[in-house]
Chains A and B, each alone.
Chain A
Amino acid sequence: DGGITQSPKYLFRKEGQNVTLSCEQNLNHDAMYWYRQDPGQGLRLIYYSQIVNDFQKGDIAEGYSVSREKKESFPLTVTSAQKNPTAFYLCASSIGQGRNEKLFFGSGTQLSVL
């Protein structure tokens, strides 16, 4: 079945540590996204990528980094510069190519600070 796989489901970060969240899709989608979800705040865009080897900052990119070396993969690194990383992180993809199509979401990663 086609879809988006996020791993791990739960992740714990120690102070000063960088952690990487994995996102893989087999939908052949061009566009991929990372959202952060905090209770009562909805989804906020961290980074998005419309094509391989290219990505743009979203509204809350500080303290995060991404790469898009392969069409299928869009990993997110939460760096030590992100002082409040505890949140539910959602990866999504869409067909892209300037077409207004729906987002497909993964099942999320819950990141907590030890």
Chain B
Amino acid sequence: AQSVTQLGSHVSVSEGALVLLRCNYSSSVPPYLFWYVQYPNQGLQLLLKYTSAATLVKGINGFEAEFKKSETSFHLTKPSAHMSDAAEYFCAVSDLYNFNKFYFGSGTKLNVKP
């Protein structure tokens, strides 16, 4: 089975600072990768998706992620954090043999300080 590792269960940044949330996947073949965001007591919303068309993927709310095969990574970044970015972020990967099955990382809670 695929697996996803998110380093850092909590990340704290100041407003206006760079946001970097880390995600590494385990797969011998590049999978499809996703980043989702969850606000308190809500479901998840898709931020962006990697499908092999381009290694740098731009998403909503100014977020982007870069796929690096050599590092098996798909880190999420945003140049300047906003207070509204405070939420929990999940990296996910689709199963190599069943695109209808997904595996999620343990999540990273982003805190943005004024």
Residues of chain A at the chain B interface (Cβ within 8 Å): 4, 31, 33, 35, 40-45, 48, 50, 58-59, 90, 92, 94, 96, 98-100, 102-103, 105-108, 110
Contact = CB atoms under 8 A, between A and B. Distances in A.
Interface residues of B, number: 26
Given A41-B106, A42-B90, A108-B41, A102 B46 contact: yes
Contact of B44 (A31, A58, A59, A103): A103
Given A41-B106, A102-B49, A48 B90 contact: no
Contacts, number: 59
A99 B43 contact: no
B54 to A, nearest CB: 16
B24 to A, nearest CB: 14
Given A40-B9, A42-B105, A98 B100 contact: yes
Nearest to A33: B102
B72 interface: no
Contacts of B104: 35, 42-44
